[in-house]
Structure formats: C-alpha cells, structure tokens
Structure 1
Amino acid sequence: MKFKDLHNQNKPLLIANVWDVPSARIAEELNFQAIGTSSSAIASLLGYKDGEEITFSELEYMVKRISKNSNLLLSVDLESGYSRNVEEIFRHIMKLSDFGVVGINIEDSIVDKRRTLLAAEKFAQTISEVIENLQKEKIDIFINVRTDTFLLDVPNTIEETKKRIKLYENAGANGIFVPCIEQISDIEEMVNYTRLPINVMCTPKLPDFDTLKNLGIKRISMGNFIFDKMYGQFKRKTEAILNQNSFKSIF
C-alpha cells in the first residue's frame, strides 16, 4: 500500500517515531505500517537541542542507516527544511527520496533562541515552490506540513491555525500536522475545515485512538515522548544499580 493511501484508512495511521536502527527494528517487529523519525530524539541522541542544531548531513546519515535496516515505509521529520532557501530544501528532500523515504514533515517555525512562527504567506510560497520542483523531477513524496500554532499557544489560535491550513492546502500540501491540539472541539473544527488528512501528536490530554478515529483524524504521531521515557527508565535502573551495589535490579 502506498504511504498516501494509509491516510485514507478507516482507522488513523499510527506512526512509530524512531531515532535509530534498533527502534526501527522494534517498530517492524510490532507490525507498524510506517515509521517516522523524531527530529528531537535524533538531535538529543547526537548531543544537540531540537531546532535544526543538527546538520542535515548528520540527519541524512541517520536516515540512511534506518532506511537500510527496515522494510517499513519511512517518513522523515525535516524540521523547517534545514534551510530557508527553496532550492536547498528541495535538494534535501531529493536526497531523502533517493534512500527510499516516502514522506516528510516540514514545520512553519524555527528556533533562534526561542521557537517562533515563520510568516505564513512566505512559508506557503516556499512549500509551493518546493512541491513544484519535486513534481518537475517526478519525485512522489508525501508532504506533511506542520503548523506550530497550538504548540506555541499563539493569540487567536483557532483562526491563525485555519489561516495557515488554508494557505498550506492551496500550496499543495498532502497533509496537515497540528501538534499539541488536544480539545475535542478544536480537533473537530480543524478536521471539518480542510479536505487534507489531519495529523495529531501524543500529548497528556490527547483523546484515545477510538475518539480520534470518530473525529476524523487520519494520522497519529508519538513524537519524542517514548524516547524521553526510555532514558528516564535508563536513569532509574542505573541509579538502582548504584544504590543496591548490585546488578539484580536489571534481571
């Protein structure tokens, strides 16, 4: 089944967010339909903060290793494109496509001391031109555009989100990702506002999967939360070894 078709199923596509080869292999063992990289987790793994501190070449290496060691459909979190230049963003996507990547997430915010939204119209134009270049090269890749209006809790969140969704839809996006949207009424409003599949992300108050299905959500992401939880567990287990002066706690 094509990656795009997975966004039109009866139930939402649950993406396993991975950061290395072992996590990708586990996702495959658990019969996930697709995996997506977590930019935050990969950055943390390599000693960076989230927000394009990692270089594209470092991301490219990690994606290549994951792709070579998994048979699952792979989407890549490209942050804001690792450039503000259309041609460079296009080249990044083209390289990922060469590894067999079938989708990308690209977000409308950047981090410069703090995370801020990019100008909506300018970002939509960037998306439009990138997609035009991809079509010229006959590169078929799912463009999931992430808007960080809820994540940043911007003023008039609903209206600003709708404005950006419409711009990105008109620019040719294949899907819309709205991290940190949690309220049922807000989710329902966004789903009904666009013909594009809506992607939500793991948060403490996100409704359960059955509720999300009934609301019309088509894709659910895990983000970096499992990665963070795993290292919290690592810390607790290692602390137990130190306190007990023994390895018994891990067996």
Structure 2
Amino acid sequence: MDFFAMHRQPQPLLLANVWDAVSARAATEAGYTALATSSAAMSAMLGCEDGEGLDPDTLLHWVARLRAVTHLPLTVDIEAGYGGSPEAVAAWLSRLAALGVVGVNLEDSVVHNGQRTLMETESFAQRLRAIRAALKVAGVRLFLNVRTDPYVLAVPAACHLAIQRGLRYAQHGADGLFVPGVTDEAEIAAIAEAVPLPLNVMCMPQLPAFGRLAQLGVKRISMGNSVLTALQQPLFELLRGIRQQQSFEGVFRHAGD
C-alpha cells in the first residue's frame, strides 16, 4: 500500500520507531507495515545529543543501513531540517528520497544550547511552503509530517495553539500533523476534527488505547524513543548480573523458552 494511503485507513498506522539494523529487522519480523527512525534513539545509540546533534552524513549512513535490511516503507525524523535555507533542506531531503525514504518528520521548534523553542508560526509556515516548492521542482515526493511542539514545551493553551499551527501548516504543504505529548481524549478529538491533516500522536503513559485513538480520529501512532528507553534497564540488569554472578547463566536462562 502507498505510504500516503496508509494514513487514510480506518485504523491508525502504527509505526515502529527504530534506530539500527537490529531493531529494523525485529520490527519487520514482528509484522509492522512501516518504520520510522527516532532521532532521540539514534542519537542515544551514537552518543550524541538529541536536537540535531547527529550530523547529516552520519544520519544518511544509518538510513542507508536501515534500507538495506528491510523492505518496509521508512520515514525519517529530520528534526528541524538540517539546513539553513529551505533549498538546502530540500536538497538534503532529495538525498534521503534517493535512498528510498518515503517521508520525513519536520519540527516547528529548534534546539540551541540545549534549549528548545518554538519557531514563529508564520515563519515556519513560509519555510514549509518553500521546502515543498523546492521538492516539487526536484520531482521528489515525500510525506511531510510536520511536528508541532506546544505540548512538548508545556505552552499555555497548547491545544488551541496546536490547532492554529496545524491549520496554517495544512495550507502550506504539510501532509500530516504530529502532536507529541497530547494525551487528553477531548483535546485529541478537537485537533483531529479541526485540522484537515492525518493526526499523529506519540507513545505516552496516559495515551488512550489504540482502538480509542481510532475513534478520536487519530491516523498515525508513533513510539518515539520509548522502546529503546524500555530496553535500557533490562540490559543494565543483565550486564550487572554477569559481573556480580561471575557467570553467563543469566544470558541463557530463557534460551529454551
């Protein structure tokens, strides 16, 4: 199925967020229909800070490795775009498309000196329009999933601002709206109803079950870096057990299960 069409199904598209070849293979074998990178997970894997701490060439290398081990559609988290001008961003996106990438996440916030701030709405909207225009000229078709960060930054009236921004982005070339941090059912429904773009939400402790999200109008569900984070404690316990027990018993304990 075409990646764009995956956002028009009755049930939300559940993306497996991956960070390396092992996780990409695991998600493929587990039956997922599409994959996405997580910038936070990939940065953590490589010892970099999230917020474009991972340089573009390194990201391209790892995207190529992911594409080599899975046939599934892959969308890439490009954070704020890894480029000053819209033309530079579009040129970089063309390199991703050449690898077989079908979509990207583009954020309306930027990180400077470890501090994340929202870009001004109209400034980002015009940047988005210019990126879309440059991609069209280049003949590149990518699903532009725009991430808006009022909830991430705990902005007052976050729901209202997410709707306001989503409406503007819909007019300027966005294909989807990603609102990480929203978990309230009424607010999810309000955003889905008001903004004419497929709504993407992200794994959070209070996020409703998938069936309920479908009823609320959600069309895409992301994991972010939550799976990698969940793996850290078991990994620590396993490694600590080997050292403390002076044995590999813990490694093979479940081998016969």
Alignment of 1:142-157 (within 5 A): 142-157=143-158
Compute the displacement of 1:162 (Å).
Answer: 1.5
The aligned counterpart of 2:78 is 78
Instruction: Give the TM-score normalised by the residue count of structure 2.
Output: 0.96
Counterpart amino acid of residue 228 in structure 1: T
Matches within 5 A, 1:103-114: 103-113=103-113, 114=115
Measured in 1, the distance between the counterparts of 2:185 and 2:84 equals 34
Q: Does structure 1 residue 116 correspond to structure 2 residue 136?
A: no
In structure 2, the partner of 1:29 is: 29
Task: Kindly state the Cα deviation for residue 177 of structure 1 after the two structures are TM-superposed.
Answer: 0.2
Using the alignment, how far apart are the partners of 1:207 and 1:240 within structure 2?
Answer: 36
8 Å Cα contact 2:39/2:78 also seen in 1: yes
What is the Cα-based RMSD across aligned positions, in Å? 0.9
Q: TM-score, normalised by structure 1?
A: 0.98
For residues 56-112 of structure 1, give each alpha carbon's deviation from its aligned partner in whole angstroms, at most 9, with x where no partner exists. 111011001111221000000000101231111101110000000000000011111
Matched, 1:102 2:102: yes
- The residue number in structure 2 matching 1:233 is 234
| Structure 1 unaligned blocks of 5 or more | none
In 1, distance between residues paired with 2:15 and 2:116?
25
Corresponding residue for residue 56 of structure 1: 56
Q: Distance in 2 between matches of 1:195 and 1:109?
A: 21
Number of residue-to-residue matches in the alignment:
251
Structure 2 letter corresponding to 1:106: L
The 3-state SS of whatever aligns with 1:239 is helix
Partner of 2:218, secondary structure, is coil
Q: Mind listing any 5+ residue stretches in structure 2 that lack a counterpart? A: 253-257
Match in the other structure for 1:10: 10
Instruction: Quote the Cα distance in structure 1 between the aligned partners of 2:60 and 2:88.
Output: 14
Residue number in structure 2 paired with 1:171: 172
1:185 aligns with 2:164: no
Give 1:200's aligned residue: 201
Tell me the percent identity.
39
Give the AA of the match of 2:152: L
Counterpart CA distance in 1 for 2:159 and 2:41 is 29
Q: Is the 8 A contact 2:167 2:196 kept in 1?
A: no
Name the SS for the 1:218 alignment partner: strand
Aligned twin of 2:255: none
